[in-house]
Structure 1
Amino acid sequence: MSARILVVGDVMTDIIVMPEGPMVKGSDRRAKIRNRPGGSGANQAAWLGSVDADVIFAARVGSSDRMGYENYFRGQGVVGVLASDTQLPTGVLVTIVDPDGERSFLTDRGANLNLCAEDLPDSLLDDVGLVLVSGYSLFEPGPRAAVLGLFAAARARKIAIAVDAASIGFLNEVGAKNFLQWTRGCAWLLANQDEARVLTGSTRLEKQMRVLGQNFDNVVIKRGRSGAAVGGRDGVVLTSPAPEVRVVDSTGAGDAFAAGLLSAVLGDATVEVALEAGIAAGARAVQAIGGQPL
């Protein structure tokens, strides 16, 4: 199997706000404010590039930003295949980071909303061993149709597909049943605990694994400070703890985890080694501001 990974997902400009304390309605609060490249798919691609994976990233950006982002991704070791949008600007995400590192988001997906079949030609699959898709690309009709078309082409070539559930808010909007229908049969599902709860209706790890394992060959549930677990229709196969680190910003931790895990899988690592690689990448991510490697 080829070790090349095709990532499909959002490009965003992340505006990260770290207030010194609770927001004061109608008044000021001192804060650190930083501007970083972001977007779940872009984060995954950048983290894959940081471990020297052979990675292609397909996405859509505002026309004025295309050249700059192509150069940026090239510097990250990523081949960016970016469509240019003349109607909508590149997406913007405002992240408000609590003192404990947890975050909340305000999202304007911009040009990502216009991702279409022409942006994802079958030729992107040449020499690809795995397609990794951020769930954000499934939450709107246009991008979803394009991604489902790519899924069909990948399956015809017997290329494995991994999907990251991405967002509890958007999962609630589209409904668990719909999301599972769109993604059923994919080789990998990556979800955090809250996303797994929405998709299964259960808070119990073992039940989450068994339910999701009816739809996916491999299920990985990210458990924050408790590490992660992997399994499938027969339940939990393996759990691994997370190292104790100082959490600065948890943005992009799940994307780093996906990159570490799946690059190891394509390198023929054991499940145990791949899970540990994902956890190590996630731990690295939370120790710096922003969703991509510095």
Structure 2
Amino acid sequence: MLVCIGDLVEDVVVWADGAPRAGTDNPARIHRARGGAASNVAAFASSLGTRTRFIGRVGDDAVGEALVRELAMAGVDTRVQRRGRTGTIVLIVDAAGERTMYPDRGAAAELADVPDSWISGAAAVHLSAYSLDGPSRPVLRQASDIARAEGAILTIDASSVALIDSLGPATFRDLIRALQPTYVFANGTEADLGSLRELATAGTTVVVKNGMEPTEVHFAANRSATVHVPPVDDVRDTTGAGDAFAAGFLSAVLDNAEVIEAVEAGHNLARRVLTEPGATLTMTADD
């Protein structure tokens, strides 16, 4: 089983029609969807047939109830706390598919006091680094301790350049190192800012995604490899691509794939979200 710990929020995805003009109307297509990095990973992995569980907090409101119901309908075992106000992220997506995010994490940022039984029994535990900032940090330490004691794989996604800036690159790197993850996922900017490639040790492999450029895999003893990224004809929205990569990677690892094979599986799933608004999978003839 894959256990994902982090955010479940509502995404409001804005596909802008042209360059923004201040002080007046800007035509756009607006799409609402379930979001939150950890819940995205859980849903994507479930779509591949991986048994998944999500742990997080939503508000005691209609939006939170709808999000939990949708995640459960995606085949995810949902273990959520209900208190406060459900979080929302507004994403402005430009014509090239790049997004600018305005997060209000709400209740998701307040996850705390998680029962050990929610985490125990996992073959892999996936964490979002967003939870390093605030009351949820002890939950990540708890998850790390349980994963190590039970011999589970532990992964963490660096999540955000703004988060690294807020905590400070050295502090951020030390917090991740203290969790002793099996794998760290980061994009190139996050890896550079936080010097995250330095985390590659005998127990940790660092996977650095570079958009359509080759993905880097950094092992211990200064060993590294690069993995080609298959071309995508029309990138419209990169939202959720990193979460799909993590889901594809982890599902493959849990199916006993080697690291390079798992990266390729991550690429294959990630490319399917790039033409849809938000963290949505494109259905293909093979699905």
TM-score normalized with structure 1 length: 0.90
Residue 177 of structure 1, CA deviation: 1.8
What are structure 1's unaligned runs of at least 5 residues? 201-207
Q: Report the more deviating stretch, 214-223 or 258-267.
A: 214-223
Select 2:12's aligned residue among 11, 15, 28.
Answer: 15
- C-alpha distance in 2, partners of 1:67/1:17? 23
Give the match's secondary structure for 2:246.
helix
Q: How is 1:1-294 mapped onto 2 (pairs within 5 angstroms)?
A: 4-65=1-62, 66-85=64-83, 88-117=84-113, 120-140=114-134, 142-184=135-177, 185-200=180-195, 209=197, 211-214=198-201, 217-233=204-220, 234-293=222-281
Aligned equivalents of 1:62, 1:144: Cα separation in 2: 19
Contact 2:10 2:67 in 1 (8 A): no
- CA distance, structure 1, for counterparts of residue 132 and residue 219 of structure 2: 23
Q: How many residues align?
A: 278
- Partner in structure 2 of residue 205 of structure 1: none
The answer for the alignment partner of 2:285 in structure 1 is none
Counterparts of 1:22 and 1:16, CA distance in 2: 16
Deviations along 1:170-210, one digit per CA (max 9) or x if unpaired, are 1111012222222212100000001001111xxxxxxx64x
- Tell me by how many angstroms 1:245 deviates: 2.7
Report the counterpart of residue 203 of structure 1 in structure 2: none
Letter in 2 for 1:39: G
Change (3 A) 1:101 1:216: farther
CA–CA separation in structure 1 for the residues paired with 2:199 and 2:47: 30
**Could you list the runs of 4 or more consecutive aligned residues of structure 1 that deviate by over 3 angstroms after TM superposition?**
none
1:18: how far off?
Answer: 1.2
Give aligned-pair identity as a percent.
32
Amino acid at match of 1:109: R
In 2: Cα distance, 1:125 partner to 1:136 partner: 18
Unaligned 5+ segments in structure 2 are 283-287
Counterpart residue type for residue 96 of structure 1: I
Cα distance, 1:215–1:268 mapped onto 2, change above 3 Å: closer
Q: Whole-Å Cα distance in 2 between the matches of residues 55 and 274 of structure 1?
A: 18
Q: What's the C-alpha RMSD, in Å, of the aligned pairs? A: 1.6
Deviation digits for residues 233-263 of structure 1, max 9, x if unmatched? 3232342223233111100000000000111
Q: Which amino acid aligns with 1:56?
A: R
Residues 19-67 of structure 1 deviation map (CA, whole Å, 9 limit, x = unaligned): 1112111111111111111111111111111111110000100112444
